[in-house]
């Protein structure tokens, strides 16, 4: 009798551990969803399904939304955002709650993706076809090189000034 009770207790403990682990996993997934931007969410969902931009366009066309692949690409680069009607259709296509899309869209605005320098980087990345990460890195490299050039230019002008001043004396 005691052995059976302990086995039942062990089984209950294992079941409660599984439930608590699944709750922890769900909470972690929710935190990831809560911090993702619409650009990241759309790109991740499309890549999970291994779809091209054309596949997304075809699926939206079947749902009655007529777009082209450049619109999808602009959404993923954050140059434009889908409206609510399209978000509902996207949620049906990807089987993701529309609330996740709306939250991700709000996150894009919260993270300052509409500032001028970010807009410039996104447009350059869109035109050249490079990823946003490469665009950010290139921006920082460019700024660093510009600062070095400005410093060297300033040093050169100071040297010219000191040379002219020493010639006058």
Quick count: other Cβ atoms within 10 Å of Cβ 1? 5
Render pLDDT for 116-167 as a digit per residue (tens, 0 to 9).
567 778 888 888 888 878 888 888 899 999 999 999 999 999 999 998 888 8
Tokens describing residue 139: 């921006």
**What does the pLDDT average to over 27-54?**
80
Look at residues 101, 54, 64, 107 and name the one whose alpha carbon lies nearest to residue 82: 101
77 close to 125: Cβ distance less than 8 angstroms: yes
Query: Which pLDDT band holds residue 77 (cuts at 50, 70, 90)?
Result: confident
Distances (CA, A) of 57 to 32, 73, 98, 106, 145: 26, 11, 18, 23, 41
Q: Return mean pLDDT, the chain.
A: 82
116 close to 109: Cβ distance less than 8 angstroms: no
Look at residues 92, 109, 91 and name the one whose alpha carbon lies nearest to residue 100: 91
Tell me how far apart the alpha carbons of residues 159 and 153 are, in angstroms, rounded to a whole number: 10
Look at residues 113, 121, 45 and name the one whose alpha carbon lies nearest to residue 81: 113
Return the axis-axis angle of helices 132-168 and 116-128, rounded to nearest 10°: 110
**What does the pLDDT average to over 68-91?**
90
Query: pTM to 2 decimals?
Result: 0.56
């Amino acid at each position: 009798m005691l052995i059976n009770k302990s086995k039942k207790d062990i089984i209950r403990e294992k079941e409660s551990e599984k439930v608590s682990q699944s709750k922890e996993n769900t909470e972690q997934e929710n935190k990831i969803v809560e911090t993702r931007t619409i650009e990241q969410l759309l790109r991740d969902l499309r890549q999970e399904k291994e779809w091209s931009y054309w596949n997304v366009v075809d699926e939206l066309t079947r749902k009655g939304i007529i777009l082209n692949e450049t619109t999808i690409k602009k959404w993923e680069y954050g140059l434009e955002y889908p409206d609510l009607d399209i978000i509902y259709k996207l949620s049906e296509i990807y089987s993701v709650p529309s609330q996740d899309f709306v939250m991700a869209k709000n996150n894009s605005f919260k993270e300052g993706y509409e500032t001028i320098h970010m807009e410039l980087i996104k447009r350059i990345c869109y035109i050249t076809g490079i990823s946003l990460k490469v665009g950010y890195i290139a921006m920082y490299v460019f700024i660093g090189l510009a600062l070095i050039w400005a410093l060297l230019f300033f040093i050169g002008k100071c040297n010219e000034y000191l040379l002219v001043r020493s010639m006058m004396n």
